[in-house]
Every structure is written in structure tokens, then in C-alpha cells.
């Protein structure tokens, strides 16, 4: 039988999870604001890019953290289809958390646009040449991926709430610093 600590994520995993979650929400709002402005959107896009690079770096850090800190097992009461759904959703999250910022960096690079990182330093374009048409295509894919990501986050939140209120040991308590399973 697993004790409470073994049923929960490590404190490092919790920190990565919640910091990345907040940054994803902030980045979504920055993009939405910039998209709806008729003028003056440049600052919002600049911040959006900086936060995106931060998410990329933190996600890579989180993956490295996971190498030494395995995910706690789901309770035996969780049906196999929910286990597969959970693993699949988490896999998609990692694909999007890496793919969206990396794709945007590639798209910026194809447009020969460096990324200003919060005014602290400039991240140069990747050596991919220039192709404005391809840049726009990738930005379109980026926007679609981001929209899909928002829906997947909604599913993730609903699943966490479902398992929290069912009290089956697979809810929010596994990822909250002061939580209980």
C-alpha cells in the first residue's frame, strides 16, 4: 500500500505544473488581447513570445525533472480507459508545450524576426532561412494548436474536478502542495 507522499507528485513537479499552468493562461490572454487590438498590439505580442519561450524552457526542465522523479501511480480504482485517456492527454500537453513555442520560434525565424526576451536580451532567429509564406502557415498552425490546447486544458480541469469530488484518490490533492489524496 502506498503512503500519502507516494500517491502525490513531488514538490518540484507541483511547482513546474502550477508555474507552467499560470504562464499558459497568461499567454493565452496576451494573444487574445493582441489579436483583438486594432493598434498597439506589438507590446502584447512581444510579451506573448517571451512567455512562450519561458514555457518552452520550463517544460524542458519539467521533463528533465521527471527523469528522476517518477509520476505517482494512479489508484487501482481508476478504470483502464481513464488511465489511457490520462496518459494520452498528458502526452499531448507535452507535445503542445514544446511544439507551440518551438513552432512560433521557427515561424519568427522564417520571417527573419528575432525574439526580444522581456527586454533583457534578444533570441536570434534560427538558421532556417527566410520564407514569409511558410512563416504565416506555421503561425496559422500555431493558432489552431493553441485553440486545441485550450479545449484540452478544459478537459484536464474537468477530469481533475471529477476525480476530486469522487474522492477516488486521483484528484487535485495529488498536485496541490497542501493537498491530500
Question: In b/e form, how buried is each residue of 22-32, taking b as 16+ CB within 10 angstroms?
Answer: ebbeebbebbe
Give kind and range of the element (H or E) at residue 122: strand 121-123
Show the CA angle centred on residue 65, arms to residues 59 and 67, nearest 5°: 115
Q: Of 145, 119, 140, 147, whose CA–CA distance to 42 is shortest?
A: 119
pLDDT tens string, the chain, 181 residues long: the values are 445 557 899 999 999 999 999 999 999 999 999 999 988 999 999 999 999 999 999 999 999 999 999 999 999 999 999 999 999 999 999 999 999 999 999 999 999 999 999 999 999 999 999 999 999 999 999 999 999 999 999 999 999 999 999 888 888 989 998 866 5
How many Å apart are CA 41 and CA 84, to the nearest integer?
Answer: 41
pTM: 0.92
Q: How many CB atoms lie within 10 A of CB 101?
A: 22
Give the separation between CA 105 and CA 94, rounded to whole angstroms: 17
Domain annotation for the chain: domains and CATH numbers: 4-174 (1.20.950)
Amino acid at each position: 500500500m502506498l503512503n500519502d507522499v507516494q500517491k502525490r507528485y513531488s514538490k518540484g513537479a507541483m511547482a513546474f505544473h502550477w508555474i507552467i499552468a499560470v504562464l499558459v493562461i497568461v499567454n493565452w490572454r496576451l494573444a487574445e488581447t493582441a489579436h483583438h487590438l486594432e493598434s498597439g498590439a506589438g507590446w502584447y505580442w512581444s510579451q506573448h513570445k517571451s512567455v512562450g519561450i519561458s514555457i518552452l524552457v520550463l517544460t524542458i526542465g519539467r521533463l528533465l525533472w521527471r527523469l528522476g522523479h517518477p509520476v505517482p501511480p494512479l489508484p487501482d480504482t481508476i478504470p483502464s480507459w481513464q488511465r489511457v485517456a490520462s496518459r494520452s492527454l498528458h502526452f499531448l500537453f507535452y507535445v503542445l508545450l514544446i511544439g507551440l513555442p518551438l513552432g512560433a520560434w521557427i515561424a519568427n525565424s522564417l520571417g527573419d524576426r528575432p525574439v526580444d526576451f522581456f527586454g533583457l536580451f534578444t533570441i536570434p532567429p534560427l538558421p532556417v532561412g527566410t520564407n514569409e509564406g511558410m512563416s504565416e502557415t506555421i503561425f496559422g498552425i500555431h493558432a489552431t494548436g493553441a485553440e486545441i490546447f485550450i479545449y484540452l486544458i478544459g478537459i484536464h480541469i474537468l477530469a481533475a474536478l471529477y476525480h476530486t469530488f469522487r474522492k477516488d484518490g486521483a484528484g487535485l490533492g495529488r498536485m496541490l502542495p497542501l493537498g491530500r489524496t
